[in-house]
Structure 1
Amino acid sequence: MIASVPDVADWIDAALQLEASPYRADAERERLGSDLDFYGASVGIVRGTVRDAGRRYPELGHDEVTALSSELWRRPVFERRLAAVVLLQSHARELIGTDLTRIEGFVREGRMPELVDLLAVDVVGPMLRALDRRGRARAELVLDRWARDPDVWLRRAAVLAALRELKAGGIAVDHDRLERRLRSAQDAASIADPALQDAVDRVRATLE
C-alpha cells in the first residue's frame, strides 16, 4: 500500500524526535535566535532521516514530494522545516517552475540563512539548471520579481540562486541580468541590510 503524505511526514517527525536532545535544542535556539521549536536533532540526522524516508517510500513522485515538503514545513519546528528543504534539495532537478510559488512561501517564513540559503542555492539553483529554455526564462522572471520585493529574505534568495552555477563556471548565467538583479535587490532596501549585503558580497566575489 502506498503511504499517504501525512503518514510519511509522521514517520519523519517520529524519527527526528527519537534523536531529540533538549541540550542541543536549547543551544540551537540560542545560536539561531529563533522563536521556532527545536527537537535538538543534528543536521546530519535530519539529512539521514530524509534519505531513509526516500528509501522507505520510493513511490513518492513530484506531487507527493512537494506536498510532503509543505506538510513538514507546516509545523514551526526547525528540524521539520530543515527536512522539508533537504527533501526539495534531493529532488531539485524534478521541480518545475510553478514550484517557485511554494518555495517563495518557505523563504518568506524561513527568515534565517540556515533555511533560506539552502532553498536558494541548493534547491532553486539546481532547479533552474534542469529547466528547459522556456521554463528557465519564466523562472528567471520570478527571481527578478523576488529581487524587487520588500522582503529582504526573498531578495537574498534571488541573489543567491545563481551562486552554485557561478561556482561551476557560470556558462548558462546571464551576467548582465544578474548584475541588474543585484542592483535591484539593493535598491529595494530602504536601509542597508547585513543579510542582503552578505549575499551580494558572496555573489560578487564569485563574479570577480
Structure 2
Amino acid sequence: MCLWDISDGRCIENTKSDKVHSDMLSFHMRSAKALRLICNGYYDEVVVIDPLNLEIVFTLVARVESDWISACCVIAPTNRDEDVVIAITNSGTVKLWTIPNPEQKGNKIGEDESKQIRCLNAQTLRCCPDNLRTVLIVCSKYWQIYDASDFTLLCSESNRRGERWTGGDFLSVDKVIVWSNEGRGYLYKLPTK
C-alpha cells in the first residue's frame, strides 16, 4: 500500500501487507473522529487502516463461519453512537460488527451477529443512505434487496441473458442502478411494500 502526495506525485508512506485487498472504502468513523480505510479481500476478516500512516488500527474477525469477505459497507445509525460494519462472505454469511467508541488500537473485534442467506460470491453490498434498513447485494446472476434488521429477502432480479451483474448502488430510497459486464446500466424502481 502506498500513500501519495497528489500535489507532486511523491510517495509519502508505504507498507507491505500479507493480505490481498480486493476492496477498500474510506469512512469517517465516529469512534475515532478520523478517516479510516475499511479493507476486505482474499482473507477472512475486515481490516481497518489509518490512511495517514497505513497502520492497521483494528481488525474485525469472524466468530463463526469464517470465510473470505467478498463485500462490506459501513453505516452510521442516527439512533446509536457507534458505527456498524455489515459484510458478506463468499459463502453467503452476512456479518455485523459494532465498532466500539473509542476504538482500541490492535484490537480484534468479533461479530455481533451472523446469518446465512442465499447469496454466493457477492460483489457489492450497499446500504441505502436514506433508509439504513434497506440493503442491496449484487451477485453475478442476480441482485437482491434485504431488510437489514433480520435479513429477510424483500425483492430480487436475475441477470439478463448473456450478461453478468458486476455492481450496483442506490440512487434514492426507491431506485437502484445495477450494471453489467456488457457496460450497460439498468435502473429499477423498487416495489412500494
Q: Does the pair score TM above 0.5?
A: no
* Structure with the bigger percentage of strand: 2
- Work out which structure has the larger RCO, using CA pairs closer than 8 Å and 6 or more positions apart in sequence: 1
Q: What's the TM-score, normalizing by structure 1?
A: 0.27
- Kindly indicate which of the two structures has a greater share of residues assigned to helix: 1
